[in-house]
């Protein structure tokens, strides 16, 4: 299960050496609910290579504003505090795997 974090914990994690894959979501978002199990599976595949977390955009509006998140699900890959790539919308597992692999 991917850990749900708040803005403070998110900022701590992305400033570290390990890349972070963050799923920005909302509880009411249907495509977000479809993407969650895909990312859960991939978090096992990439264990030790990246930290996987999720952030509820309704509870952490400052992060939505900071990263210009207008549509969800929004998956961001962060290295050393910077977002290096993003994906908006649902992705099947093969597409999500490719997106993550090319960014690690």
Looking at residue 85, which CATH number applies to its domain? 3.40.30.10
User: What pLDDT digit, counting tens, does each position of 30-45 carry?
Assistant: 999 999 999 999 999 9
Bridge partners of 55, per DSSP, are 24
Q: CA-to-CA distance for 65 and 49, rounded, in angstroms?
A: 28
Domain extent for 32: 3-103
**pLDDT(1) > 90:** no
* Structural domains counted in the chain: 1
CA distances from 24 to 97, 100 (A): 17, 15
User: What pLDDT digit, counting tens, does each position of 45-71 carry?
Assistant: 999 999 999 999 999 999 999 999 999
Q: Catalytic site residues?
A: 29, 32
User: What order do you get walking across the sheet with 74-79 strand by strand?
Assistant: 3-4, 51-56, 20-25, 74-79, 82-88
């Amino acid at each position: 299960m991917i850990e749900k974090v708040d803005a403070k914990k998110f900022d701590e994690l992305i400033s570290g050496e390990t890349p972070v894959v963050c799923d920005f979501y909302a509880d009411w978002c249907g495509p977000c609910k479809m993407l969650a199990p895909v990312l859960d599976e991939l978090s096992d595949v990439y264990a030790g290579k990246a930290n996987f977390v999720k952030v509820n955009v309704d509870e952490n509006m400052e992060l939505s504003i900071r990263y210009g998140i207008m549509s969800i699900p929004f998956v961001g890959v962060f290295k050393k505090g910077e977002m290096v790539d993003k994906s908006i919308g649902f992705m099947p597992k093969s597409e999500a795997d490719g997106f993550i692999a090319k960014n690690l």
